Amino acid sequence: MNEPNATKPATASSDHPDPTKKNGCFRAVVVVKVLALLVLTFPFCAFIVAFGSIAPGLQVICLLVGELGVLALVLRWATRRRWFGWIGVALLLGALATTSGHALWRWWTHDRFDAVPETGSVQWWRYHPFEDGNLLPRCDAPEEFRFRDGVPRLCAAYALYPIEAAAVQALATKESYKASDQRGRGISLEGSDMLFDQLAEDPLWKCDAVFGLKPSPEQEERAKELGLDLHFTPVSRDAFVFFVHADNPATNLTTGQIRAIYSGRAKTWREAGVAFDERLMPFQRNKNSGSQTALERLMGDEPVLPPIEEDRLGGMGDIFRDVADYRNRRGAIGFSFRYYATELVAAGKIRLLSIDGIAPTVENIRSGAYPFLEDAYLVTDGAPTGDVARLAAFLVSTPGRRLVEDVGYVAPTTQRPDADESHAESAEN
């Protein structure tokens, strides 16, 4: 008699896989795919960020759109729904095309033109004191002018940094300079609009003296508010120059023509009296910068037209409007100082203009024939004392003036006959 079939215990079979293992494998595959996708899209995101510095208004938008595209591709792989994939690809390509298109448009309309570079493009290390191979002239300063208490804390406007650095190299030793620099007391450079505030900073950080041009009326009021008694020692003289594209036929402008251009009364070069059929693009600098203050002094009582502006990206990603940098388009005109435009930067294909028939040459600056001259000063809060007084005495002395000329500037042609004695007396006190 056959025995009834016994019930067999359930055993695992390949026909019925463990669902926990299946889910685990699925999740692992998804994680690997997500990581692979992030790795593959990293160059894309880096590309967006890089072009975002050129097109700041699109940076955040394109990054968000690109990340949404990445998320859509992840959902495509996770849900196996193709339409997520099409959306992801469309978003990624749209962000890429928008950013690239804007970058190409900006290059075509703006960046392809030669520029007078801003301070960030100057190789300042070539002017640092005691650096091997720097461009500073050597000077054996007389012992009575040399620093005795380390190096004073000094700051210079960008265009005057070579004078500051050359004087420190002449009056300090390499060891004292390095020691002061390590203590945060070394020399520095700053925009003219913030320069005089350095004399009234926190006592631990304030400067003993700054190198700058004559302050604007607003800066003079600011100095009074801060309780500063500005004292000026002339150290150099330079030409305030105007320049145009090399293809511009203008070689000379009168003072009246300059005022017509920068007041806005002349809209085209032909209206300004130049046989050139291009619209005027008069570039300016930021308020209270040295060159902008020089322009305002030149204009006298005539108001300056609003400057050309463009979008900029701030340190926290905020977009703001700022004065546009000079771009050497055919209708452009800009201004600066002779030393900065010809010595510190590669100025591009520009032509410096004569003013009232006088060219901005070193000879015309030295003789005073060029009409727009600006003196630079060593500025202190009150009369200089100690090592700063020795620095001031050196700069107005014969070897100091020679050093200023060797750097490439023009030493002032006039000085008080008792300048050396008065500064030397302050140094002793």
> At CA 410, angle to CA 408 and CA 414, rounded to 5?
160
Domain boundaries, the chain: 20-111, 119-237+374-428
CB 74 within 8 A of CB 126: no
Q: For every one of its 429 residues, what pLDDT tens digit does the chain have, with 9 covering 90 and above?
A: 455 555 555 554 445 555 555 555 656 666 676 666 666 666 656 555 554 444 455 666 777 777 677 777 777 766 777 888 788 788 877 877 777 777 676 666 656 565 554 544 577 888 999 999 899 999 989 999 999 988 999 999 988 999 999 999 999 999 999 888 766 667 888 888 888 988 987 766 789 999 999 999 999 999 999 899 999 999 999 999 999 988 899 999 999 999 999 999 999 999 999 999 999 999 998 888 888 999 999 999 999 999 887 755 444 444 555 677 777 788 999 998 998 887 765 555 788 999 999 999 999 999 999 999 999 999 999 999 999 999 999 999 999 999 999 999 999 864 433 344 444 444 444
Q: Considering only CA atoms, which of 255, 251, 281 is closest in space to residue 110?
A: 281
Rg (CA), the chain: 32
Q: Considering only CA atoms, which of 247, 352, 329 is closest in space to residue 281?
A: 329
- Going by DSSP bridges, is the β-strand pair 154-157/188-190 parallel, antiparallel, or unpaired? parallel
CB 259 within 8 A of CB 219: no
- Please name the residues in contact with 10: beta carbons below 8 A apart, sequence gap of 6 or more: none
Q: How many CB atoms lie within 10 A of CB 110?
A: 15
What top-level class would CATH report for the domain 119-237+374-428?
alpha beta
Q: Which two tokens stand for residue 265?
A: 């009364």
Q: Considering only CA atoms, which of 152, 243, 160 is closest in space to residue 199?
A: 152
| Element containing residue 388 per DSSP (H, E) | helix 386-396
pTM of the model: 0.69
